[in-house]
Structure formats: structure tokens, C-alpha cells
Structure 1
Amino acid sequence: MPRRNSAPQERYEAIELLLLWEGRVSRSRLLDLFTIHETLASRDIAGYRLLYPHACEAESSSKSYVCTPDFQPTLTQGVFSEYQRLVGAAGALTEISIGIPFESAQFDATTIRPLTFSRLHQAMRSGLCVKMTYRSMSTPQPHERLIRPHSLIQAGPRWHLRAFCEKSGEFRDFNLGRISSASLADDADLPGIEEDLEWQRVAVIRLVPHRDLSADQAQMVREEYMGGTAAMVFNVRASLVKYVIQAFRAAVDPGRERAPEHVLMLQQPVDLPNEVQWKR
């Protein structure tokens, strides 16, 4: 259970999220999530009800409070990712507290060495360069690279490092699981985050139902992914566009990447990175 220390405002937000996503809140439920005394849990619920008297009502049979039909979130945005973070579904799979049976097919598949990570972390924090031993698909044998890392990226089950690479002369993403050692290179000087133009630039991604789908299938996809609207629109760093497309298995070339294997496609993009440009 993801029990943790908290501030009163965080617990008020948790009450609201529990009401919104589970339909009820109770003292015991708050005790599942936070390291607090049961008296404080009761006081939090009472305080929330005092501030928002129309949000919930008592249900004596379950010793809980259930949300009213007109309940609307005011402290939170009402998005599922907030609830995921609250119950731990966005973190370790062993820390789920959802109240019903739960399984996840999302796994973190990158093996990260603590010492290597700590040095990379220090380099990013201090703006230093790093000599690392790396392997890649093009060069699977261990070899040395001089890089200047600036950011971590989580993409599905893998973690990457965004860095300028002396060998390639450009900013690239490096898989953390392929870095076997790292040491600080205090005397080296390579471009930093402020010169990573693709990192600084924001690209707009529009995902729409695949053009091969029938009208009924396309409508189903819109309701499933887009809340019934015409498209999903994301504003992301240009260097991360490929990860978003991969995460949704969206077709970049709908003539080759066909439905139903791909139910989404990238709407004809404007000013996207070359590797994801519409192919004709």
C-alpha cells in the first residue's frame, strides 16, 4: 500500500479523487493511503464536507461517504492520471491500492545500475560531461562515448538519456540499459540543453481514427480514445514525438500500416521531426 506522509491539502485532494473515481471515501480508505492517525482521517473528511457540503453524503451501512449525483471536482482536474498517482498505479506494480482486483501489463524493462545512474544524475545536475561504456544496435560491442546528458526520458518500459554525443556530433537518446559504466569528464565541454533545438521545440501531434476503419469503427475509436471528439492533440517536445506515436501504435504511413493492427493514425503532420514525417 502506498502509504505516505502528507499535507492537509493533499488529503483533501485525495478525498475528492476517491469520491470521483471510487464513488466513496472512508476513514479506513484514507488510512490505506496516508500515514496519519485515524482521528485526523475523520477530521479531514469532516473538514472537506464542511467546505463542500454537497459533494457527498453519509452511508451508515458502509461507514463511508458516497458522492452525490451532482458531485463535481473542484480541487483536482478530474483526470484519471491523478487517481493513478494517488493509488500508486503510476508507480510500482506492488503498490496498488484500488480496492478491487487489479493487474497491469505495464512493466519497466530497463535495467539501470545504481552507480551508473548516480553519476549520470550528478552530471545532469551539474551540467558535466560523461565518459560511458555503451552498446547499440549498430555497434553491439562495448565502446566508449563522450556525452553531455541533460534529461531522463521514460518511454513505455524503457528509460532513455537525452544527451549530446561527441561521436555523432548531435543530440541523441541513449538507452540506460545499454550503459554499463560511466565516469565524470570534468575537463570536457560539449553543447548543453539550451542548444538542443529538437528538445526545446514543441511539436503538435494529432491522432485520428485510421482511414481504413468503417464509420462505426471510427466512431468507436473516437469514443474510446478521444471522448467523442475528432482527434487527440498533444503538444510535446519534438524529440519525443516518436515515443508518443509508438505508445499509441499510431500509423505514420497508413498505406502500409493498416487497420485493424493500427486503429489510429497520425493526421498529416506539419513541421514534425524527419523520422516521423508522413510517408508517401
Structure 2
Amino acid sequence: MDLNDIAFAQRQRLAYIDFCLLFRGHLTRTDLLNKFQVGLSAGSRDFAMYKELAPQNLLYDPARKAYLQSTKFVPLFEHDSRKTLTKLAHDISDGFDAVGDIHFPVEAPSQLNVPDIFIVARLVQAILNNKAASIIYTSLSSGSAAREIVPHSIVDNGLRWHVRAFDRKSQSFRDFVLTRISKVTVTDQGSQPGEQKIEDHQWVRMMPLHLVPHPHNVAQPTAIEMDYGMENGALKLNVRAAMAGYLLRRWNVDCTEEASLRGGEYQLYLENRQTLYGAENLAIAPGYAV
């Protein structure tokens, strides 16, 4: 049977089944019914149809009353990495882009890289199921090596995607660039004390940033105020300490003590730079020095 011969509404439900198996590793009939507000018989037909189209993709676990991703799973639909990551970042988990979204005439700047969808899927599975993951990671300093991490968040830093995770090798929370991960295996081990997101102090800590038009590089500060929706001449943000450096670099915010960076790219100045004390990734913040 060809997917294009199936009614669009049912294709959406099949894509949702496919998406959940890929990214969560499991799905119940109740999940499907609640998502689409369909009856029990319609839901049963959808699972039967999915199994007919991809019999190797799922197994039924009577104890959990859930369908599980099989070891032979191959996605029935093509899930675009960039669209899926963007949707996940906004808490949208439907898989609908795989059946043909409306194309709007809006373009976004290309990111430096596009992560492998299967790498992303396994990391999301580990996060949602509170499991550790074994990965092969290539770092700039030590090359390729096996590591065991406990991931808690997938992050878009404005330039590329990374996973925030506890690294059991260094016994610390770190950022791992997704495109530098070549293999992921979700383990049966759960997180241990000290490895959970709540223990990631750089992630939990929120830092107030007060951004103002650069006092030397901007001739018409009102234009900058309009660009960033400033109120009373300032934009006040609360940012995770783990993300502060990325934001300041992406927006080219002058972080020097006396707004001493020159150049048209520096249109913003960090008015309360003392707030950065204790943040760990400030080497990339423009002009910041302790």
C-alpha cells in the first residue's frame, strides 16, 4: 500500500505513531486517542494500518499496554532534522511535517550544521525515559572517544545544536555538539544522584541581563530600541547561566567594563556586566574579562 493512497487525516495519525516510536521509543493507544480525539475503533485501525505498512517497527508489550520501538525500526516517514528540532524546541511533537506542511514564503538563515535525525531521536529517548546514553564523541582537544552521559536538554545556541548532559568521565555538566556525536546507545541505567537536571547549577541559575543601545557605536539608539522591543531604553532578559555566553556572542553584545569595543556589529552593550559573575562559558562573550 502506498502512503499517498491513504487519507490525509489518517496519514497524520500514522506519522504521529512513527514520530513517537522514533523519539520516545513507545506509544499507547490512549496517547493516540487523546492526541486526535478519535474513537477506540479508529485508533485500532490506525495501529493495524501502521503494522501492515511497517511490521518490523513495533512490538506490543501486554504488561505496559504499549507499543514499543523494535530493534529493526526504520522510520516509515521522512522526518526532517531541522524542522523536527525546531518543533521540539517549541514543545511541538506531532511529526506532521513528514506528511507535508503548508509552505509559507519565509526563509530562515541556514545553521552551520544539521544533526543526524537518529542521533537526535536516541538522545531524546534517553531524556524522556531518564536514561544514560553511551556515545562516540569527537572533541577538538582529544579526538574521538567513547563517553557515557546523562542528557537532560537539547539546545539551540543560535549557531548549532547541542545536548546538555552530565558527563560521567569528567563528573560535570557539559555541552556536546550534536554533529560531533557519531553513535548513541541508550542504556538501561537511570540517572544517579547528582546527575539530574536540577543538579546542573549553571542550567538552573537564571541571570538577569540588561541590554542597552551601544553608547558609542549607535548614532540613533531609538532604532535599536525598536529592533529589540526595549522599554525605557533597555531590554531586560532572564537567561540561564549555561546559555548566557551563547546569547551574548550571537547578538554581539559588548561586555567590556566601559563599552570599549568599536565596530558596527556591536550595537548592544551589557549594562549590568556584574551579573555574569560565576557563569562558566564567558570566553565567547565579546570583550568579557574577569
Structure 1 partner of 2:139: 136
Q: Which amino acid aligns with 1:192?
A: Q
Alignment counterpart, residue 170 of structure 1, candidates 169, 172, 176: 172
C-alpha RMSD of the superposition: 2.9
Change (3 A) 1:211 1:227: closer
Matched, 1:242 2:248: no
Q: Distance in 2 between matches of 1:168 and 1:134?
A: 14
Q: Distance in 1 between matches of 2:176 and 2:127?
A: 14
Change (3 A) 1:113 1:274: closer
What number of residue pairs does the alignment pair up? 186
| Mapped contact 1:223–1:229 kept (Cα < 8 A) | no
TM-score by length of structure 1 reads 0.58
Structure 1 partner of 2:216: 212
| Mapped contact 1:212–1:259 kept (Cα < 8 A) | no
The superposition leaves residues 142-188 of structure 1 with CA deviations (integer Å, 9 ceiling, x where unpaired) of: 11111100011112241110101122221111111110001123247
Q: Which amino acid aligns with 1:279?
A: A
Alignment counterpart, residue 195 of structure 1, candidates 191, 199, 214: 199
Change (3 A) 1:232 1:255: closer
Structure 2 partner of 1:224: 227
Q: Distance in 1 between matches of 2:119 and 2:217?
A: 47
Structure 2 partner of 1:251: 254
| Mapped contact 2:215–2:259 kept (Cα < 8 A) | no
TM-score by length of structure 2 reads 0.56
Q: Which amino acid aligns with 2:245?
A: K
| Mapped contact 2:202–2:242 kept (Cα < 8 A) | yes
Change (3 A) 1:114 1:261: closer
| Mapped contact 1:252–1:266 kept (Cα < 8 A) | yes
Structure 1 partner of 2:183: 181
Q: Distance in 2 between matches of 1:127 and 1:178?
A: 22
3-state DSSP of counterpart to 2:246: helix
Q: Distance in 2 between matches of 1:169 and 1:122?
A: 22
Q: Distance in 2 between matches of 1:109 and 1:274?
A: 23
| Mapped contact 1:219–1:228 kept (Cα < 8 A) | no
The answer for unaligned runs of 5 or more in structure 1 is 6-84, 86-91
Q: Distance in 1 between matches of 2:281 and 2:182?
A: 28
Matches within 5 A, 1:139-154: 139=142, 141-154=143-156
3-state DSSP of counterpart to 1:172: strand
